[in-house]
Amino acid sequence: MKKILLIPMLAIFVFSVSAQNSEKTGSLLWKISGNGLEQPSFIFGTHHLYPVSFLDDVAGLKDAFASSKQVVGELLLQDMAALAAEMQGVGMMPQDSTWQILLSAEDYQFVDERLTALFGVGLQAFGVLKPFMVSMTYAVTVHQQMLPESNPAEPMDLWFQQQALGRGLPVVGLETVQDQIAALNVASLRQQANDLVCAMRNPDYTKNSVLRMNEMYRTADLSGLLGMLREESPCPMSAEQEIALNDARNNRWLEKLQTIFADKPSFVAVGALHLPGEAGILVGLERAGFTVTAVK
């Protein structure tokens, strides 16, 4: 359970304003050059729940990784046990709130039965966690059922960092566990609980979304992913959640990445949906004066 709860389930909503600037698609790997850099850096869009074996099929990935002098990720993932403990600590339900308070009796029974069917335990066990933590666990489990070859305990993000450490390279994190929790935890506890109920009551939509998302990732269709995220959903995010998960984080990362690239050629591995769109990292780097080129 601790390993499953580590996986950051980031639903990033971005909005494309200018096709000329924001049409960054057709590749998961991008070269960052110019703007005074002596050597290029690279950014790769990961899928936290996709099999690591997929990396063998990404054109130019091995050379890009080999040429880099440090690896950058969303989080430092080396100490999985410490991260799991920290995440569970901040993900605990406050003492003045319970699932019985957050949900109607009907919804409470429904969630309890659904969790029991999936995990063998219901809200008696999961009720100590905030709803967004339960939602992450549910989403990871549904995804793994549909893609059995995936291993949530060994995401490709971790693979890159382990490879870097094996080569004696430094590994840099763009944010902390507390930063990610703050973004995921921006909604009220009641809204988090309602989001979980909605996802569970719309299983066909959830499963279809997983299938489409995986296919678009496999084909590097970043534009398609953005289009999918703009579609009407039975369980939409609030504007506050969208800003917290996308704009605020990307803006902080862009400031750090400029310093990181100036320091040494780097290989950056972050969730693929942080890359495209007007609010994405790639357009942000172009605005900062860098040349951003797809590697195909």
Give tens-digit pLDDT for 130-141. Answer: 998 899 899 989
Give tens-digit pLDDT for 99-110. Answer: 999 999 999 999
Q: Residue 129: phi, psi to the nearest 5?
A: -100, 150
Give tens-digit pLDDT for 203-248. Answer: 998 889 889 999 999 999 998 887 787 677 888 777 677 777 777 8
Write down the pLDDT at residue 81.
61
Q: Which candidate, 102, 192, 82, places its Cα nearest to that of 139? A: 192
Q: Out of 25-39, 106-120, 270-284, pick the least confident.
A: 270-284
Give tens-digit pLDDT for 267-292. Answer: 999 999 899 988 899 999 999 999 99
Largest CA distance in the chain: 62
- β-bridge partners, 30: 43, 294
Half-sphere exposure of residue 114: CA atoms within 13 angstroms, side-chain side: 21
> What does pTM read for this prediction?
0.87
Question: In the predicted model, is pLDDT for residue 12 greater than 70?
Answer: no
Q: What DSSP designation does 52 have?
A: G
Q: 246-263 in b/e burial notation, b at 16+ Cβ within 10 A?
A: bbebbeebbeebbebbee
| Mean pLDDT (whole number) for 118-135 | 93
CA torsion angle 158 243 253 269 (round to 10): 30
For the ranges 12-16, 49-53, 82-86, the maximum mean pLDDT occurs at 49-53
Question: In the predicted model, is pLDDT for residue 183 greater than 90?
Answer: no
Write down the pLDDT at residue 91.
84
- β-bridge partners, 72: 172, 268
Question: In the predicted model, is pLDDT for residue 3 greater than 60?
Answer: no
Chain position carrying tokens 């009407």: 232
Q: Residue 24: phi, psi to the nearest 5?
A: -100, 100
Which one has a higher pLDDT value, 28 or 176? Answer: 28
pLDDT-derived band at 261, boundaries 50, 70, 90:
very high
